[in-house]
Amino acid sequence: MKFGVIVFPGSNCDHDAYHVISKHVGQPVDFIWHRETDLSSYDAVIIPGGFSYGDYLRAGALARFSPVMNSVKKFADTGRLVLGICNGFQILCEAGLLPGALIRNRDLHFICEHVFVRVETSDSPFTNELQRGAVLRIPIAHAEGNYVCDDQTLAELQREDRIVFRYCEQDGTVTDAANPNGSRDNIAGICNRERNVLGLMPHPERACEDLLGSSEGRDIFRSLAATLAAAA
Amino acid sequence: MKAKVYVNLKAGVLDPQGKAIQHSVELLGFSGISDVRQGKYFEIALDDSVDTQRARESVEKMAREVLSNPIIEDYRVEIEA
């Protein structure tokens, strides 16, 4: 199985993602410059966090026009796995691969802290090694992480079990106080209808080593690898 | 020819920046402000060879597909000869 980490001008969590795949998942991984268009040798691509194009216009808005994004769409259409983290989630929403949008945090702050997220479904290639209801302590680092969508989209996400992570208290209770940015329904991560594209604001790649304060993000990458291993 | 594009958050979409600006303006002593909404404004210079109708069409498309995110924002285009 081979992973790719897409690099836009302004990506800054690309090396973290690369490190996790090579060290913790133990699989081959390449950086993919945003002008590349050939993704045929990859089984999964990660769109990492950062500030692609300096967050000009809107977070993720300009990255969507990079040549690689057309290929990412086709890649996703063939059922292969796409994981968007933070800015990657914003890009996937702007590109229409995931519904909704991410707007300015409700209190205006750039928030950089560990939060708790609850796994809402284990029926995804990214969470199948996790129990539904499990609570993970993972950092967030964003100014535009406030997930918004219309009522119909929210109902669809709920009905189709596509809300993958929600912000919660340490004990797993979903409360407004545990919602760091004002996201609708405490949404921290969602997947597409086909379930092969996941976007989330928290940074699991920054939570893979105890030295960094948490290794609870590892199970997400472990799930990904297990999914690919089972498909191989 | 010049095109002007105004992009604003849809009614009901939270605008914490607008709220913060309102608060600051009030601290300055201005009163009677019921709301501040922050938007974006673009000026696009167009080649004189483009006719007004075509200019409007292409700028509308730009506004719809790039300058605004239809999920959270509305836009308005003005063409100035």
How high is the ipTM of this complex? 0.89
Structure tokens at A195: 């379930």
Is residue B42 within 8 A of residue B67, CB to CB? The reply is yes
Residues of chain A positioned with their CB less than 8 A from the CB of B67: 57
Residues of chain B positioned with their CB less than 8 A from the CB of A61: 66, 69
Residue for token pair 């199970």:
A219
For chain A, positions 87-146, list CB contacts with chain B under 8 A. 93-94, 100-101, 103-108, 146
Paired residues of B75 in beta bridges:
B7
For chain B, positions 5-44, list CB contacts with chain A under 8 A. 13-17, 20
Amino acid (1-letter code) at residue B15: D
pTM, to two decimals: 0.95
What is the full per-residue pLDDT of chain A (232 aa) written as tens digits? Answer: 999 999 999 999 999 999 999 999 999 999 999 999 999 999 999 999 999 999 999 999 999 999 999 999 999 999 999 999 999 999 999 999 999 999 999 998 999 999 999 999 999 999 999 999 999 999 999 999 999 999 999 999 999 999 999 999 999 999 999 999 999 999 999 999 999 999 999 999 999 999 999 999 999 999 999 999 998 8
Is residue B76 within 8 A of residue B40, CB to CB? The reply is no
Question: CA-CA distance, A6 to A2, in Å (whole number)?
Answer: 13
Domains and CATH numbers, chain A: 3-231 (3.40.50.880)
- Residues of A noted as catalytic: 86, 203, 205
Number of neighbouring beta carbons within 10 Å of residue A14: 21
Is residue A98 within 8 A of residue A197, CB to CB? The reply is yes
Amino acid (1-letter code) at residue A199: G
Nearest chain B CA: its distance from A123 CA (Å): 27
Say if the Cβ atoms of A150 and B71 lie within 8 Å.
Answer: yes
Of the candidates B13, B66, B67, the beta carbon closest to that of A148 is on: B13
Domains and CATH numbers, chain B: 2-80 (3.30.1280.10)
